[in-house]
Every structure is written in structure tokens, then in C-alpha cells.
Amino acid sequence: MENSQKIPLLNWRKVLIPPSTKILEAIKIIDEGSLQIALVVDDHNRLLGTITDGDIRRGILNNITLDSPAQRIMNPRPVFARINDAQENILALMKSKELHQIPILDENNCVAGLEILDELIQLVKRENVAVLMVGGIGSRLRPLTDECPKPLLKVGSKPILETILDNLIEAGFHRFYFSVNFKAEMLRNYFHDGSRWGVKINYLYEDKALGTAGSLSLLPYRPSIPFLVMNGDLLTKVNFNQLLKFHQEHKAEATMCVREYTFQVPYGVAKIENHRLVDIAEKPIQQHFVSAGIYVLEPEILDFIPSGAYLDMPELFQFLLAEKKHVATFPIREYWLDIGRMDDLERAKFDFTEIFE
């Protein structure tokens, strides 16, 4: 079978887990292996369900804690094939169901193997365009940004934007647009046309600040498939392939990456009904999902972006919600840091060697 690969016995057995396994341990199994799946089985290796990255992120959005049993987030009705099925039929089933992995069961419903498409373990060039927003002034990082645009500030051995570019190239992206304004020529002089990295970089020049969404109106043509938009001051290990897969699986018109943000109120919080005090919560912890500055958009979303007008991404998403568009959220559980302030930059320098080298 040309487009798939039989997984050696020892490899697929590593992703078998009992239903009592903590979700955090399931995450490690999925992230550390090349198979991108965990198979939940009983004591006799009978398949109970499957867990993929998407199942984990949906669990996070539903506030299921990572120390909960994996059974809580597994898909209890997974698609599977039989051990005697022809490989051509298995491939056809995977394509029809848009599956990247499929467990192989014997006559007793015990796991006997796993089939996985080559694209999960081999780099495939993506035709999705990536637009990086790198035109900001970076005023909170002055005086460092007085003479150098923020994306060119070095963290570790290279500029912030070069690390972002490397991560996207690793995920298969090779067509880029840099939206530039402040000190645009410094950025262009460093990255040129991208040939040094084996990719193509074009530039969107903002004559005036257009915001994190407004400069998309400068794209010279409308992409034919979903495209990525990302702020150029983020360091993250988010799985971009999983992000695009999530967007497509949910048939979203726009997907916003979100990050869990937790803070503790430093006071006792009073709960009041009319004039009566009914409860006091002492220094409660608040948890919210906040925008992470990474988005996937369908091409038709460009219709909502006026030409030459200032527009930030939160405003664009408000418009989409008002128009009843299908907007999804993708929770980032990997490393993520927005380098907006001086202490963020110092933290990035501290983290860089361990996370990115």
C-alpha cells in the first residue's frame, strides 16, 4: 500500500492504555510518539476507545482536568478495521472518514495493529499561506525597539521572527506574507525573499497602521484554502498541523487559538443579592480563555475586512459572531509566550535553550 505504513509491533503497543490512565499521561504518550493517538483498552486488549489531540483539546475546553481518567475524553465509538481487511480497503476507509490513524482489530475486538498515513510521519509541504503580523512599534519594549523592530530582537541565537519562521517551516509551511510597517526595510533586509530558508516570503506594506486584521485586505489575491494568521511576537510550540486539522474537522469558518489564563483575586469577593451579603469567597482563583494571537481563516472571511481601514482580530471575530459564522476555538496546551513587555523578553531568553534548542 503506497500511501500508508504498517506500524511495527513494539511501536503501536506503546500507545495502549487502560481507561484509568490520567489524561496527562495520555498527552505524554501522544506527544512523545510518532503515532499521534492513544488506544484505550481493557485487560484483554479489547478496544474501548481512542484519544487524539483533538479529543484532549475538547476536554480542556470542557474544563476536564488533566488528572481525570482518560476514559472521560476518549471517543467510545472509533472507526476500526479488521485484521483480514485488504490494505486497499483500509486506505479507502481512512480517506472516506478523513482519518490519519485506524486501529486494526481481530475477531475478538482485541487490538492487533495500527495503520497510519505517511503524512503524519513525513514532512509534507503545505499550500496553506501563513501571514505574520510584524508591523507593530513595540512601545512597551523601548528603548530596545527605538532602533530595532520587535520581531528582530534576539532571543537565544536568533531573532524572534526567525524562530517563528523555523517552527512554521518545520510544520510544512513554505508560502509566507509578512505584514510590515515600523522599520519595514530592516525586516526585509534580514529575511529578503526567504530563499535562505528555502521558502517564499512576500511583504504587505502598511502605509498606516491597519491592526492585526486590517492588513489582510492588502493580500494580492484570495487564497483558495484556509490560511494562518499569527502575531510576530509569539514564541510557541503549538502543533500547527493539529491546529489546521482541528479547524477542518470542525468545519469552522474561523478558528481562534486560545490560552487558559488564571489569576487570583487578592481580596475576599462578596456575593450580594439585592442589599444582602449571601457569601464571601476568600481570594478566589479566576480562570478564563484568552486569545493567543494565532488564527485560521477561510478565504471568504476576507469579505469582512474593509480595504485600508484599521481592524484588529477581536473586532473581526465579533463581526463574524454577529453574522452567525461558525467560529471555533483551539486551546493551546503547549509552550506559549507573548513577548509584549521587558519581563516577557527576559523570560523568553531564559526559556529558549530548553524549549527551542
**Residue 214, phi then psi, degrees to nearest 5:** -60, -35
Options 6, 14, 125, 283, the catalytic residue? 283
17 - beta bridge partners?
40
The three grid cell numbers given for residue 269, joined into one nine-digit string = 469577593
Q: Where are the beta strands (DSSP E) in the chain?
A: 4-6, 16-17, 38-41, 47-51, 81-82, 101-105, 111-117, 130-133, 154-155, 158-159, 175-180, 200-205, 227-231, 234-236, 254-264, 268-273, 276-282, 285-297, 327-331, 336-338
Question: What's the CA gap between 222 and 162, in Å, rounded?
Answer: 26
**Sheet containing 38-41, strands listed edge to edge, beginning at the edge strand earlier in sequence:** 16-17, 38-41, 47-51
Q: Return the amino acid letter for 156.
A: G
Residue 283 falls in the annotated catalytic set: yes
β-pairing, 130-133 with 175-180? parallel
Query: Which residue numbers are catalytic?
Result: 283
